Structure 1
Amino acid sequence: MQIEDIKINLANRKEFLEDNKNKMFNKVAIFDVNGFGNINHYYGYDFGEKVLKIISLRLENRFLNSKIYYLGADNFAATSSAEISKDRFIQTIKSIVWYFGYSPIELEGYKVYIPLRAGVAINYPELLFSAEFALKQTKIVKHNLVIYDSEQHHICHPNSLSIEQDLYWEAQIIEAIRKDKFEIFVQSISNQFEKKYEVLVRMKNSKGEIISPYFFINRAKKINLYSEITKKVIQKSFEYFENKNIEFSINLSISDILEKDVVDFLIQKIYEFDIAHFLTIEITESEGIDNLEELISFIKIMKNLGTKIAIDDFGTGYSNFSYLVRLQADFIKLDGSIIQDLNRTKTAKAVVEAIVFFAKKVGIKTVAEFVSTKEIYETCKELEIDYFQGFWFDEPKNVKELKKEI
């Protein structure tokens, strides 16, 4: 029989939801084909459709005592009733994940590996909800299998409150993006000669309360909406600082810089507002710079446009002096945790002294973050740091308040 003649004769998503509603099973595994989009793009959609058919046959052949469903796109589900033991169900899933990971599909002269990720839930009142959450967790914990078993807490047991919190914040972020509920705040970066500002983002929740990025930034990254927030910040900050002749900085993560859509948007807005010579891009160094060549290319583009570059949180993560020269940074922002320890430990002071010494040698300006007391400020001046930022000078404020100062 030709592959073209094979149909995906599995129960569909509608049947799956109906069976779940009728409590037809007490165990469920939801499978996601990891990187299936790449197969479609590289080999073509017809090839991808054939691969899905083979996957459905493989699952049917190995799950002899379970019902298999095709949920659409690249998602499948396997369910089992109480008659089948939990251990047997889990063992089958582990075998499936291993088999797909090490046994390529051979099709039309190609060998294609099809790694699966699986989220499993056993004996939960909200079975589907827990299985979908388990599948999400596979990306976070970087493991191809996450099992939520109501009886085996040591395997993995989802906290209902944490699930509820994640869903709440996802809804808040989506609503904020859709209804444009992000606002820009600023904090000064100054010395005795000049003052500029760092742009910070805040979000309004459904009650109109201002929310710190601590609560939504990482969650936005998990649901792939972080780049939308970055674009909001670019648009709003450029609109505010247009024609004000004031230097300001915005933060970009490494993931932003590797996102073509974000970089294209940034370049477009730099041209539109003609603001490059007042703009500094702060790159969060602590995330790790694994894509150094791509980052260098981005920095060259920005510098050619006339922007400046700052390496944020220097002193943590992948800190080393060698790539600073390659990055051609204009500023180093010293990590706040080190600055706060300046007067507490000799080590912190020695680290800052070394960074400042190097920066002066290569012509890079330094900025001390988290300058929260007069004592810290005096020590920073003693160490000849160029700029200061922190609560000793001012707290982040809405740009609406800043209008009174400029």
Structure 2
Amino acid sequence: MIDALTKVSSHSAFEDKLLTCKSPKLFLVDIKQFKNINLAFGDEGGNFVLCAFSLTLQSFAKAHEMELFRIKDDKFILLLDTPFELSKMECITLSLRDTIQRLSYAYQNQNIDLAVHIGISFDHYEPLEKAHKALLVAKAENQPFVTYSEFANMLMNENEEAIESMIKGAIDNGQIVLHFQAIVDHNEQPSYYEALLRLAYHQTVQSPKLFLKIAKERNLYDALFKSIANKVAQLSDQTHLRLALNLSSEDIVNPEYLSFLKTCFSGKDIVLEIQYDQRTSLDVLQNAIRELKEMGLSIALDNVDNEELIHTFETEMIDIVKVYGELIRHLALDASAQFTCKAMVAFCKSKNIQIVATQLNAKAVVEAARELDFDFFQGYIFEQPHTLT
């Protein structure tokens, strides 16, 4: 049973296949605002995009031992029949996101740009329905992907009390867990380990950004912030490893949070990775960083995509620069990305700042990063996120 337009397996073929799957893992891919493409380029242009997109997905499916089906209109399913393994599912999810984000196809001397949302289900019971629910949340929250979970399902419920109860329960019951990924040197030896948030609902790789966003809107972020910091401090004592915690500049300038961090991390080997929001007062942020550095904490500037951002901060204030992952992913093929990274590496070397190439998932990109003489490297190609205890 083949779809007449795209020549990939049809919805009927998917339903038959699902009957024999023991451990279905579904990735429901939807083209964002596909109707606008039809309006702009007509049905022929829309059909061209569907065929071109299906070829992209088919290539990905073959590379990851998956099967591709066209479900309806601009929706496609990638199906993998395999037992659940968190690190493997994370790797596939992020690889799929990287493969199909910001696609562009040439049609009649014009470029048609695509954006997508992905709804994911790892459940055997009603997997397509759950993938659809996850897709709805991804669209509503404008997330690249969302994995079905009790939390994702609850977000579609208009009952505000139920949503708040769900978040409180996740915090109080310890369902917000920490996995860690090493930042390694040229010899692939760990320099430190970055804490990565995970929702510990059954079989999920739910994006923590969604949870954090809702937690902040419900004024539940305080408890979550302190819980995470305490866990990092405890693990630092237990493992004697150098650990890193990712925070926003908004967190750092909050007087209560700043005081808590100073108490919590006193005497510990901790790196605070700060993502700078230009809405944050730079003077207030730099004063807070000074206080943290006086305690012996290291400061990393996270998601940096240009040299000017590093210049923004005073000399000797930043110890580590982590380069924006999307810039790194284009390093092997994009001359502009290479130029930008080369300039940042040179500047950091001149200021005795260590610089990290992040989100490394391909050998060619690792080689390009090594040639530019990055100090450290991070990505799935080196290590899957894992627990420390």
Which of 172, 178, 188 in structure 1 is aligned with 2:172?
178
Query: Counterparts of 1:44-193 in structure 2 under 5 Å?
Result: 164=157, 167=160, 169-191=163-185, 192=187
Equivalence for 1:263: 258
Find out whether 1:312 has 2:306 as its counterpart: no
> Partner of 2:380: helix, strand, or coil?
coil
Contact 2:177 2:198 in 1 (8 A): yes
> How far, CA to CA, are the matches of 2:320 and 2:335 in structure 1?
24
> Partner of 1:398: helix, strand, or coil?
coil
> Partner of 2:313: helix, strand, or coil?
helix
> How far, CA to CA, are the matches of 1:166 and 1:348 in structure 2?
46
Find out whether 1:284 has 2:280 as its counterpart: no
* Change in CA separation of 1:247 and 1:166 when aligned onto 2, cut-off 3 Å: farther
Find out whether 1:245 has 2:240 as its counterpart: yes
> Partner of 1:390: helix, strand, or coil?
coil
Find out whether 1:226 has 2:221 as its counterpart: yes
Unaligned residue ranges in structure 2 (runs of 5+): 1-140, 142-152
> How far, CA to CA, are the matches of 1:258 and 1:166 in structure 2?
33
> How far, CA to CA, are the matches of 1:315 and 1:358 in structure 2?
13
* Change in CA separation of 1:256 and 1:161 when aligned onto 2, cut-off 3 Å: closer
Find out whether 1:325 has 2:314 as its counterpart: yes
**Aligned partner of 2:295: which letter?**
L
> Partner of 1:376: helix, strand, or coil?
helix
**Aligned partner of 1:198: which letter?**
E
* Change in CA separation of 1:373 and 1:353 when aligned onto 2, cut-off 3 Å: same
Equivalence for 2:288: 298
> How far, CA to CA, are the matches of 2:356 and 2:219 in structure 1?
31
> How far, CA to CA, are the matches of 1:335 and 1:176 in structure 2?
30
> Partner of 1:187: helix, strand, or coil?
strand
Per the TM alignment, residue 306 of structure 1 is displaced from its structure 2 partner at its CA by 0.4
> How far, CA to CA, are the matches of 2:200 and 2:154 in structure 1?
22
Per the TM alignment, residue 171 of structure 1 is displaced from its structure 2 partner at its CA by 3.3
Identity across the alignment (%): 26
Equivalence for 2:329: 340
**Residue correspondences, number:** 235
Contact 1:254 1:289 in 2 (8 A): no
Per the TM alignment, residue 363 of structure 1 is displaced from its structure 2 partner at its CA by 1.0
Equivalence for 1:349: 338
TM-score (norm: length of structure 1) = 0.53
Quick check: which has more Rg, 1 or 2? 1
Unaligned residue ranges in structure 1 (runs of 5+): 1-139, 141-159, 401-406
> How far, CA to CA, are the matches of 2:360 and 2:385 in structure 1?
13
Higher relative contact order (CA 8 A, sep 6+): 2
* Change in CA separation of 1:183 and 1:162 when aligned onto 2, cut-off 3 Å: closer
> How far, CA to CA, are the matches of 2:205 and 2:370 in structure 1?
34
Per the TM alignment, residue 257 of structure 1 is displaced from its structure 2 partner at its CA by 1.2
Which of 183, 198, 201 in structure 2 is aligned with 1:202?
198
TM-score (norm: length of structure 2) = 0.56
Query: Counterparts of 1:367-378 in structure 2 under 5 Å?
Result: 367-378=356-367
Find out whether 1:385 has 2:374 as its counterpart: yes
**Aligned partner of 1:256: which letter?**
D
> How far, CA to CA, are the matches of 2:298 and 2:155 in structure 1?
40
> Partner of 2:197: helix, strand, or coil?
strand
> Partner of 2:309: helix, strand, or coil?
coil
> Partner of 1:371: helix, strand, or coil?
coil
Per the TM alignment, residue 163 of structure 1 is displaced from its structure 2 partner at its CA by 5.2
Contact 1:199 1:249 in 2 (8 A): yes
Equivalence for 2:26: none
> How far, CA to CA, are the matches of 2:388 and 2:379 in structure 1?
17
> How far, CA to CA, are the matches of 2:272 and 2:159 in structure 1?
30
Equivalence for 2:121: none
Cα deviation digits, residues 222-266 of structure 1 (max 9, x gap):
222223222111111111121533211101112211222222221
Contact 1:296 1:327 in 2 (8 A): no
> How far, CA to CA, are the matches of 1:265 and 1:176 in structure 2?
22
Aligned alpha-carbon RMSD (Å)? 2.6
Cα deviation digits, residues 29-54 of structure 1 (max 9, x gap):
xxxxxxxxxxxxxxxxxxxxxxxxxx
Contact 1:281 1:308 in 2 (8 A): yes
> Partner of 2:235: helix, strand, or coil?
helix
Equivalence for 1:365: 354
